Chain A
Amino acid sequence: MKRFVFWRSAQALVVLVIVSIIVFSILHFLPGSPARAYLGIRATPGAIRQFNIENGYNRSLPVQYWLYVDHLFHGNLGFSYHFDQSVSSLLKSDLPKSALLVGLSYVLALLIAIPMGIAQALRRGKLLDHSLTTVSFVGYSVPQFWLGMLLIVLFSVQLKLLPSEGPQGASVGTVLHDPRGLILPVLTLTIVTVAQFSRFVRSSAIDTLLEDFVRTAVAKGVSKRGLVMRHLLRNSLLPVVTLIGLSLPGVLSGAIIVEALFNYPGMGWLFWTAATTRDYATLMGFTIVVGAATVIGNLAADVVYASMDPRIRYQSR
């Protein structure tokens, strides 16, 4: 087990390094430059040169990359010229808001998707299964922003029940003052997520139902309730651990579409602004943080999975 954790961590570290190299290269090989983005299209060549020297952009690429990594290890994610503040302070203000929005939606989605998937598996091939499958099929074929638009039309325009805009405010505290505004964005995200999660739970539960120990339990005369609670739930929820691990980056990176549609400035919105204004430092810092979250999420899922289910020991070549 220790060996496995060690190898998986080493792999994770390699992945993280490659992620940073990929993003670094994308930013440097695509057209445009930080100097142009900051100084504007009318800047003189002299001013550009000056800017590049001051900020180290005249050094060779490997040196620039190394300087970036060096700063990273000192907790410095860089400075955003567009927002005129450090990238870490940007993340500090936007990350909690996204985490609230996406986290809430994922928890709700899990609470709905687990019973839904298990009910489908128990009645596999019956009417309930087919109708719920159709619902989730449509659920993940709907463009997120269109779903949000439809909800706005229904709840804000026709029923006049809920605001069409997310709560405004710079921090989670102020956002929570207006919980009604959160309902539509959370609902949109939840519907889309339930569609994905429930398919996953369904197939996992179907696999479990085919196992020998389920047949044994049925033969022993275990009640349906006992079967579901004691045998089915526990075993088919193992893969859900993976799902939660894989969802972690989403919690941090926010939901661009939903944030843009409901005007709820969080991480997704930050990334969009940074990409369209060529805010290199923010793009780089954001991707590093989200990439790290992904890698850690995967790693945690694998380790928890392996430790929860002794039948599974990954081969640690």
Chain B
Amino acid sequence: MSTSDAVGASDEVNEQVTTPDREQTALAPQASSSPSRSPWRRAARDFAHNRMGMTGLGIIIFMLLFSYLGPVIYRTNQITNNIFKTTLPPSAHYPLGTDAVGYNVLGRLMVAGQSSLEVGFAAAAIAAIFGTLWGATSGYLGGRVDSAMMRVVDSFLAIPSLLLVLLLASFVTPSVLTMILILGSISWLATARLVRGEVLVLRTLEYIQAAEGLGQRAWQVVTRHLVRNVVGTVAVQATFEVANAILLLAALSFLGLGPAPPAANWGGMLTDGLNYLFDGYWWLIYPAGICIVLTVVAFNLVGDAVRDAVELRLQR
């Protein structure tokens, strides 16, 4: 938080990042260094030794299999409803019962997981790409352009994110695609700030001067050299953004602005369960909530572990 921290951290970046990349620019700009010495390999190894991170990764893989492979093995009708079989308690035929319009809850959890995960991943990807470009451009160009670009980021941050999302969502027809675009369009701000901070340090390094001296244009320096060196930071932030997007999608569904049935997402399922709080229909309240919490915790765990691994990489 304090300025001294920022300076300390940037010094580390300064020392460690220079060496491998200087080699790269001088010798073979496109080729990666030898496998045994690759800092990314080491980071991957550090990650593999992090128990919390691996737990998180395990949960994410499980959720992906559950959502995408699950419906292939366990086929259920998630399109048409069945009003003769509503809110049935769990039984051999319906392991998690049925919901208010007769959908099989277990099958619906799988389908719902697809949209929740898709929205999370895609929104985070948009945020990562756009945020990196915005931050790198701003930091690299500096001066007035930098001030102007950062004031835009500040301005978007000045409006609470849920309000901005709600405002945008109230004007479009909710679908997985529009949710991705809306959540992506507000998730890039933090990434842009972080990337700009790093680029401010990176751009003073010699290899950037060398690239400029060789006559590379601004966009080439940004895309070839700067973006590559902030990949670690961006990856960490993107992991957290997946978690955020899944939570925001759930919140939007709760407010009635999520994708409408027969489309399903975990947040929407929970919202339906809201009507049965007093009836004791636990299968409409707990399973979808547990799925959200598990997934979001998992992405946060992975994000933390990746950050530790990347920071270790920088310390070497």
Chain B residues with CB under 8 A of A18:
151-152, 154-155
CB within 8 A of B273: which of A31, A149, A260?
A149
A190 to B62, CA, bound (A): 32
Q: Are A15 and B278 in contact (CB under 8 A)?
A: no
Q: Are A275 and B158 in contact (CB under 8 A)?
A: no
Once A32-B171, A145-B270, A149-B274 are accepted as A-B contacts, the answer to whether A242 and B159 lie under 8 Å apart by CB is no
CB within 8 A of B297: which of A32, A137, A164?
A137
A223 at the interface (CB under 8 A from B): no
A314 at the interface (CB under 8 A from B): yes
B211 at the interface (CB under 8 A from A): no
A38 to B282, CA, bound (A): 42
Q: Are B289 and A312 in contact (CB under 8 A)?
A: no
Does more than half of chain B's interface fall in helix, strand or loop, or is it mixed?
Answer: helix
Chain A residues with CB under 8 A of B293:
138, 141-143, 146
B124 at the interface (CB under 8 A from A): no
What is the distance, in angstroms, from B59's C-beta to the closest C-beta of chain A?
11
A290 to B243, CA, bound (A): 26
B167-206 interface code vs A (CB 8 A; 1 in, 0 out): 1101110000000000000000000000000000000000
B224-247 interface code vs A (CB 8 A; 1 in, 0 out): 000000000000000000010001
CB within 8 A of B300: which of A11, A15, A137, A256?
A137
Q: Are B1 and A204 in contact (CB under 8 A)?
A: yes
What is the distance, in angstroms, from A20's C-beta to the closest C-beta of chain B?
9
Chain A residues with CB under 8 A of B152:
18
A207 at the interface (CB under 8 A from B): yes
CB within 8 A of A146: which of B168, B243, B256, B270?
B270
A250 to B300, CA, bound (A): 23
Q: Are A138 and B297 in contact (CB under 8 A)?
A: yes
Q: Are B159 and A239 in contact (CB under 8 A)?
A: no
B267 at the interface (CB under 8 A from A): yes
Chain B residues with CB under 8 A of A16:
158
Q: Taking CB as reference atom, which chain B residue is nearest A29?
A: B171
Chain A residues with CB under 8 A of B297:
137-138, 141
CB within 8 A of B5: which of A145, A207, A275?
A207
Q: Are B277 and A157 in contact (CB under 8 A)?
A: yes
Once A30-B171, A143-B247 are accepted as A-B contacts, the answer to whether A15 and B158 lie under 8 Å apart by CB is yes
Q: Taking CB as reference atom, which chain B residue is nearest A14?
A: B151
A31 to B172, CA, bound (A): 8
Q: Give the bracket for the number of chain B residues in contact with chain A.
A: 35 or more
A26 to B166, CA, bound (A): 12
Chain B residues with CB under 8 A of A204:
1
Once A143-B270, A290-B160 are accepted as A-B contacts, the answer to whether A31 and B171 lie under 8 Å apart by CB is yes
Chain A residues with CB under 8 A of B119:
none
Chain B residues with CB under 8 A of A142:
289, 292-293
Determine which residue in A149, A290, A291 has the highest number of CB atoms from chain B within 10 A of its CB, and name it: A149
Q: Are A295 and B151 in contact (CB under 8 A)?
A: no
Q: Taking CB as reference atom, which chain B residue is nearest A158?
A: B280
A146 to B292, CA, bound (A): 10
A194 at the interface (CB under 8 A from B): no
A149 to B4, CA, bound (A): 43
What is the distance, in angstroms, from A160's C-beta to the closest C-beta of chain B?
11
Q: Are B277 and A15 in contact (CB under 8 A)?
A: no
Once A15-B155, A19-B155 are accepted as A-B contacts, the answer to whether A256 and B285 lie under 8 Å apart by CB is no
A249 at the interface (CB under 8 A from B): yes
Chain B residues with CB under 8 A of A239:
1-2
A257 to B163, CA, bound (A): 11
A9 at the interface (CB under 8 A from B): no
Q: Are B243 and A294 in contact (CB under 8 A)?
A: no
A15 to B151, CA, bound (A): 6
Q: Taking CB as reference atom, which chain A residue is nearest B297?
A: A141
Once A15-B155, A22-B155, A275-B170 are accepted as A-B contacts, the answer to whether A141 and B296 lie under 8 Å apart by CB is yes
Q: Taking CB as reference atom, which chain A residue is nearest B251?
A: A257
A239 to B289, CA, bound (A): 33
A96-154 contacts to B (CB < 8 Å): 137-138, 140-146, 149-150, 152-153
B3 at the interface (CB under 8 A from A): yes
Determine which residue in B2, B160, B293 has the highest number of CB atoms from chain A within 10 A of its CB, and name it: B160
A253 at the interface (CB under 8 A from B): yes
A281-309 contacts to B (CB < 8 Å): 283, 287, 290-291, 294-295, 298, 309
Q: Are B270 and A271 in contact (CB under 8 A)?
A: no
Q: Chain B interface (Cβ within 8 Å of chain A)?
A: 1-5, 151-152, 154-160, 162-163, 166-168, 170-172, 243, 247, 250-251, 254-257, 267, 270-271, 273-274, 277-278, 280, 285, 289, 292-293, 296-297, 300-301
Q: A141-B296, A294-B160 are in contact. List 7 more A-B contacts (CB 8 A).
A: A11-B151, A15-B154, A141-B292, A145-B250, A149-B285, A271-B163, A287-B163
Top 6 A-B pairs ranked by shortest CB distance?
A18-B155, A141-B296, A30-B171, A275-B170, A294-B158, A239-B1
Q: Can you sample 16 A-B contacts with CB below 8 Å?
A: A16-B158, A18-B152, A22-B155, A23-B159, A141-B300, A146-B292, A153-B285, A242-B1, A253-B160, A257-B254, A275-B170, A287-B159, A290-B160, A291-B159, A294-B157, A294-B159
